[in-house]
Amino acid sequence: RMSRRVQQLRDHDTNPCIVETDASRKCMDENNYKKDMCTAYFLQYKSCRKFWHGIMMQRRRNGVKPEMPSAEERKKILESVG
């Protein structure tokens, strides 16, 4: 059974960067944990977090709940950004 924190991290509605997280982890596994081999994956994860953090802060300022858009809402946001 997964801990509550792990469940939260695996929840597509609360974690917008699961795909990037998994890709980074897979890269590390496949490259014997040599971080320099996975830099591109880390940058993708970082930019994902930065993007959604900005959205979350904007929603917080505007009093929008929940602060993190649902997976469905995020899909629409990404489509509108291109």
Q: List, for residues 10-64, the tens digit of each pLDDT value.
A: 788 888 999 999 999 999 999 999 999 999 999 999 999 999 999 999 999 999 9
Segment holding 82, helix H or strand E: none
With a threshold of 0.75, does the pTM exceed it? yes
Q: Between these two residues, 14 and 73, which has the higher pLDDT value? A: 73
Burial letters for 28-61: b for 16+ Cβ neighbours within 10 Å, e otherwise? beeeeeeeeebeebbebbeebeebbeebbeeeee
